[in-house]
Amino acid sequence: MTTDSSPAPFSVLGLAPVIPVVVLDDAADAAPLARALVAGGLPAVEVTLRTPAALDAIRAIAAEVPDAVVGAGTVLNAEAVDAAAAAGARFLVSPGTTDRLRAAMDASGLPYLPGVSTVSEAMGLLERGVTEMKFFPAEAAGGVAYLKSLGSPLPRARFCPTGGVTAESAPRYLALPNVGCVGGTWMLPKAALAAKDWATVTKLAGEAAALGGTR
């Protein structure tokens, strides 16, 4: 799956208790934003492929912020997998999973979190040896109670719930043994990003990172 020159694989779920989900319209903001998140204790940065600036943002973080582990989110097809990998993404995240997409992510050699929202989807990935998944959209798909109910029948599956997770609900997710981390945007308030108020981002990132100490 990987070549001898590829970085050693790692667990995306083990990078930090919270993965910031970043949407950027200006790639010039990417590096300072990533530095602010890293300074607060959140090294994993998921840049979603939702804007024209996304790939340039990934390139900037990969080149300029060595302490960050930049990933690509909203990966929908094989072309996006290739583009994200070429830009320097170190992990991949998808909102859902198809056989073609899973195969492309697997072939990339990068760690990835394929999206699931049902038991059958999770079982399908487990059959293929994939044990780490994104649970999306977390709140709309059943939230903490749903994930708790999956623990006994699917003991090998571990999740990163994303979608509607807040600073208040994150500790309840993180208390579950089958949750490795959560994804969220609450440490990235729009007003702070618009004002390039990186100090506020660092402060909120620090509070999010501290949630790991409650586990």
Give the residue numbers annotated as catalytic, written as ranges: 46, 134
Nearest Cα to 194, choosing from 24, 50, 59? 24
Longest dimension (CA), the chain: 47
Specify the amino acid at residue 201.
Answer: V
* Sheet containing 158-161: order of strands: 115-116, 132-135, 158-161
Rounded distance between C-alpha atoms, residue 94 and residue 115, angstroms: 5
The SS3 of residue 7 is coil
Rounded distance between C-alpha atoms, residue 59 and residue 165, angstroms: 27
The SS3 of residue 30 is helix
Rounded distance between C-alpha atoms, residue 116 and residue 114, angstroms: 7
